[in-house]
Amino acid sequence: MQLFGLKNRKAIAIVYPEPILSTVPGLCNFIEKIAEHHFQVDIYTTISDQYELPYFNNSNVHLHQLNHPKWFKRKFPLTFIPSNLILKSFLFFNSLTKYNLIIGVDPAGIVAASENNPLNIPLAYFSLELLIDGELDSKEKALRSKEIAALKKTRYLLISDEERKEIFLRYNPEFQGKIIYIPNASANTEEPLTDLHFPKNKVLVNVSGSTAAWTGIDRIIESSKTWEDNYLLVIHCKSEEEKIILAQRNPGILENEEIFLTYGSFKRSQYKNFISKMDIGIVFYIPQFTDRYDGLNLRYIGKSSGKFAYYLMSGKPVIVNDVPYYRHLLQRYRFGVLIKDTHDKGEIAKALTTIHANYSTYSKEALRCFQNEFDLDQAVSDFVKALQQ
Q: Which region among 72-76, 222-226, 338-342, 366-370 has the lowest average model confidence (pLDDT)? A: 72-76
Confidence of residue 71 (pLDDT cuts 50, 70, 90): low
Q: What is the mean pLDDT of the chain?
A: 91
Mean pLDDT for the stretch of residues 79-86 = 62
Chain segment 38-68, per-residue pLDDT in tens: 999 999 999 888 788 888 989 999 999 988 6
What per-residue confidence (pLDDT) applies to 1? 35
Report whether pLDDT(265) > 90.
no
What per-residue confidence (pLDDT) applies to 53? 87
Within 8 A by CB and 6+ apart from 229, the residues are: 258
Report whether pLDDT(6) > 70.
no
Mean pLDDT for the stretch of residues 152-175 = 97
Angle between helices 376-388 and 25-36 (to 10 degrees): 50
Chain segment 206-255, per-residue pLDDT in tens: 999 888 999 999 999 999 999 999 999 999 987 788 888 999 999 999 89
Confidence of residue 75 (pLDDT cuts 50, 70, 90): low
Report whether pLDDT(201) > 50.
yes
If one counts every other C-beta atom within 10 angstroms of the C-beta of residue 320, the result is 25
The CA-atom distances, in angstroms, between 109 and each of 13, 15, 103, 166, 170 are 11, 5, 8, 21, 21
Chain segment 121-135, per-residue pLDDT in tens: 999 999 999 999 999
Mean pLDDT for the stretch of residues 95-102 = 90
Mean pLDDT for the stretch of residues 139-143 = 94
Mean pLDDT for the stretch of residues 328-349 = 97
Report whether pLDDT(295) > 50.
yes
Report whether pLDDT(97) > 60.
yes
**Structural contact between residues 86 and 112, judged by C-beta atoms closer than 8 angstroms:** no
Q: Which region among 7-21, 72-86, 179-193, 197-211 has the lowest average model confidence (pLDDT)? A: 72-86
Closest by CA position to 42, among listed 14, 70, 9, 4: 14
What per-residue confidence (pLDDT) applies to 7? 47
End-to-end CA distance of the chain: 9
